[in-house]
Copies of this chain bind each other. A is one copy, B any other.
Amino acid sequence: MNIEEFFQLSAGKWFSHRTSHHLAFNKSEDGKSDIIIEMLTADHPEVIKLCQLYEIPSSSASCGAKVSWNGITEGVQQKYSGSTVLVLVPDVDKADEGKLLREIGDTEKALVPGRYKMGSDEALTLTTESETICSEERLWFASPNLRMRVLVVKRIDGFSTASFTSEIRMGGSPTASKVSETANPVSS
């Protein structure tokens, strides 16, 4: 699976169950949300806009995704929602790794792209680093309708969090939409 195929398979609506382990305290916290992932082509206005923010030619982007979520943190019963845009800019000499552009709220800060890499085991690794935080996220499909994500965030003050998210597809299978586009009315 290449990175574009990974993004295509990610498109759709997902039920997302997240558990965070606060490593210094041996405590965990659960959250549940609905997530919608839309794949964006390289010429989508949101992709072009994000490339401009990072001062990277949009012609070098391969694709992007818009991720929207709507959820609740259990225990404190705190609701949250939001959306973000991600854009992939492959390295010139390597097909399956490159820069990861991410929409962030605070545009006062200098924008430093993260990195993405597709592994030989079909897991996607996303890394971002700033002066105070470094994060590594691994994503893979246990099956086409079951996606796993593990995010490790290390803060400069030593408090680390490891979050595990299992995501079950609720609809919008890219396989089904592809099938309908190719004159075969049988959805899978």
Is there an interface contact between B142 and A136, defined as CB atoms closer than 8 Å?
Answer: yes
Q: Does A2 contact B (CB under 8 A)?
A: no
- Specify the main secondary structure of chain A where it touches its partner: strand
A17 CB contacts on chain B under 8 angstroms: 21, 26, 28
Among listed A55-63, A79-87, A158-166, interface-contacting one: A158-166
Q: Does A104 contact B (CB under 8 A)?
A: no
Give the Cβ gap from A153 to chain B, nearest Cβ, in Å: 10
Q: A23-B168, A32-B26, A119-B120 are in contact. Are A162 and B138 (CB under 8 A)?
A: no
Q: Does A4 contact B (CB under 8 A)?
A: no
- From A168, which residue of chain B is reached at the shortest CB distance? B23
Q: Does A152 contact B (CB under 8 A)?
A: yes
A140 CB contacts on chain B under 8 angstroms: 138
Q: Does A72 contact B (CB under 8 A)?
A: no
Q: Does A123 contact B (CB under 8 A)?
A: yes
Is there an interface contact between B162 and A142, defined as CB atoms closer than 8 Å?
Answer: yes
Interface residues of A (CB under 8 A from B): 15, 17, 19, 21, 23, 26, 28, 30, 32, 117, 119-121, 123, 125, 136, 138, 140, 142-143, 146, 148, 150, 152, 154, 160, 162, 164, 166, 168
